[in-house]
Amino acid sequence: MNPRYHSSSGPASARGQKSRGSSEPGSAGCPEAVEAEAWVLATEMGRHLLEEIGNARSLGPAQLTRLRKEAPPEAVRAALRLSQARHKAAMKFEQGSRMWVDPLGVEQATAEPVAKHKAGRFRCELVVDLCAGIGGDTLALAARSNVLAVDRDHGMCRRILYNARVSGVSERVLPIQARADRFVIPPGAWLHLDPDRRASSSRRASRLVDYSPGPAFWNSMIEGVAAGAIKLSPAADFSKHFASSNLEIELISLRGECKEATVWFGELVSCRRRATRLPENVTWTDQDDHTQQVAAVAPLLRLIYDPDPSLLRAGLLDGFAREHQLYRLAEGVDYLTGEHLVTSPFLTPFQVREVSPLDLKALTRLIVKNEIGTLEIKVTGADITPEALREKLKPRGAQAATLLLIGGSGAVRAVLAQRVSTGGLATSSPAGELVMRSPATEAAASPLPSTRPPEGAAGSSGAVDPSPFPTA
C-alpha cells in the first residue's frame, strides 16, 4: 500500500517563484517537487527510498516500477533527484551527501573551500547573503557571523535552513524569502551577493549586464553598504564594469581551475587585483609587483612553467614572472620559461626534453623514440584539439610525458617535457641539477612571497516559517 503522502497547496508552497531553477510542473523548482523532496527527507519511508536509490549502481525499468508501487511517483522522482544532486554536492561540500540540494542549485553553489576562504575575510556580526541559493556561502559565513540568507524562491529558503541544521549553524542563519533588489540591508550589516547568471535562459550569462540583479544594483550596494563581496564568473567582463581604484578584484582557483572573480568593496579592500590558489591558500597581488612592467620575452630555456589561471585572469602574470626571474616564451603566450626551478603552487614546472616542429611524422618518431605511452597534451596559442592529436599519435610505450604545443607570433612548437614534481616538491641544487625535496623540508624553505587578507576583514520581516521543515 502506498504511504500517505501530502502535498501542501497552502500559502507556503504557493509563494514559490522562478529563481535558480524552473518552476514548471514536475521540475525541482516547482512547489509540488519541493514538497515531495521534503516528504522524502522527513519520513522513515522516504529516507529508506532515498537510501535504496543512493546505494543502487543503476536502476532499470523493473526496479523503478517496483519503487513506484511502494511509494508515490512524485516521491520516487524526488528521491532520484535528491540522490543525483547529493552525489554532485559531495564533490563540493564535506556534508554534501546529507544536504537538501537540487541539481541546478549544486551547480551554481560556491564550492566549500572557496566559500570558507571568502568567509574568512568577513569579520562582522551580521552578513546579508543575497541570492543565497542552497546556502553554500551562507554556511561558511555562519561559522563566525549571523547571516540573513535571502532568496526569492521559497524552496531554496527551506533548503538553506535544512542545510544549516546539517552543518550545525542553524542558530546563526535566518532564511528570508525576498527579491534581492527589494530587500533592505540592515544598518551595519555587510553584504555577500551572488547574482543569478541564468535569470533569462538556461545558459549561463557571459556578460555582466545579463546577470540578475545587474550592475546598476551592485553599484548601489557598493555605495550604500560598509563592506562586502560580489561573486562573478571568472570569465566575465569584470574589468569593464569595475575599473575603480576603490575596489579589489580577486580571482580564486581551486586545484588549478579558476572558480570565480570576487569583487571586494568598502572596508574589505586591501589591493586592486589579487590571485588566490586553493587549497594551498597562497595569494599574489598587484602590491607584490613593484614595477608594473611587462615581463621580458626569452627563447625556450631549460624549464617551462604553466601558470595557474588565477594569475592569468587577474592580470598578474607579468609581475609574478619578473619577481621570480622568469620570462614569457612569446608575446601573447602565457607559458613562462627559465633556467632555475621556482617552487610555487602557482606554477606547474616541466623540464624540456626535446623540441620538434608541429609535424605529425616528426612527432610520431619523437613519441616512439622516447617510448611514450601515457601522453598529456597541453595547447596554448594554437587551434589544435589534444584528443584528436593523441588519436593520431597512438602512444603505446611504457613512459609518461607531456607534449606542450606552443603557438604565438611564429610557427607552433611542440615541446616534449617531463613534469618536475611527482610527489615531493622540486628545487634546484647549487650545481643546477633537479633534486627532490619532501614537503616537510620544503616547509622550512623560503615560501612564495604572499600577502594575507586583511585581519579586519536578528529577526526580519519576510523570514520563512521554519515549519514544516524536515528534520536534518
Please give the Cα distance from 343 to 293 (Å, whole number): 23
∠ CA(420), CA(425), CA(426), 5° rounding?
50
Closest by CA to 193, choosing from 247, 151, 224, is 151
Q: Which residue has the cell 617551462?
A: 304
Residue 136: φ, ψ to 5° = -55, -50
Please give the Cα distance from 213 to 229 (Å, whole number): 14
Residue 98: φ, ψ to 5° = -115, -5
What residues contact 391, with CB distance under 8 A and at least 6 apart?
none
C-alpha cell at 164: 544549516
What local confidence, expressed as pLDDT, does residue 291 receive? 66
Question: 464-467 — which CB contacts under 8 Å span 24+ positions?
Answer: 464/154, 464/157, 464/158, 464/161, 464/175, 464/176, 464/177, 465/12, 466/161
Instruction: Give the H or E element holding residue 37.
Output: helix 31-42
Each residue's pLDDT tens digit in the chain (472 positions)? 333 333 333 323 333 333 444 444 445 568 899 999 999 999 999 999 999 998 887 777 878 888 888 888 999 999 999 999 999 999 999 999 999 999 999 999 999 999 999 999 999 999 999 999 999 999 999 999 999 999 999 999 999 999 999 999 999 999 999 999 999 999 999 999 999 876 544 556 568 888 889 989 999 999 999 999 999 999 988 878 787 789 999 999 999 999 999 999 999 999 999 999 999 999 999 988 766 788 999 999 999 999 999 999 999 999 999 999 999 998 888 999 999 999 999 999 999 999 998 899 999 999 999 999 999 999 988 889 999 999 999 999 999 999 999 987 778 899 999 999 644 333 333 333 443 232 333 333 333 333 333 333 333 334 443 333 354 4
What local confidence, expressed as pLDDT, does residue 469 receive? 39
What local confidence, expressed as pLDDT, does residue 57 receive? 74
174 beta partners = 148
What residues contact 139, with CB distance under 8 A and at least 6 apart?
93, 112, 115, 163, 164, 167, 169, 173
What residues contact 123, with CB distance under 8 A and at least 6 apart?
144, 455, 456, 457
DSSP track, 54-86 = HH-S---HHHHHHHHHHS-HHHHHHHHHHHHHH
DSSP track, 251-291 = EEEETTEEEEEEEEEETT---SEEEEEETTTEEEEGGG-SS
451: left (phi over 0), alpha (psi -120 to 50) or beta: beta
Please give the Cα distance from 351 to 54 (Å, whole number): 45
Please give the Cα distance from 257 to 250 (Å, whole number): 14
Please give the Cα distance from 215 to 239 (Å, whole number): 12
Structure letter (DSSP) for residue 439 = H
Residue 154 vs residues 18, 28, 115: alpha-carbon distances, Å: 10, 12, 23
Peptide bond into 213 cis (omega under 30): yes
What residues contact 418, with CB distance under 8 A and at least 6 apart?
350, 351, 353, 401, 402
Instruction: Give the H or E element holding residue 368.
Output: helix 360-369
What local confidence, expressed as pLDDT, does residue 1 receive? 33
pTM above the 0.75 mark? yes
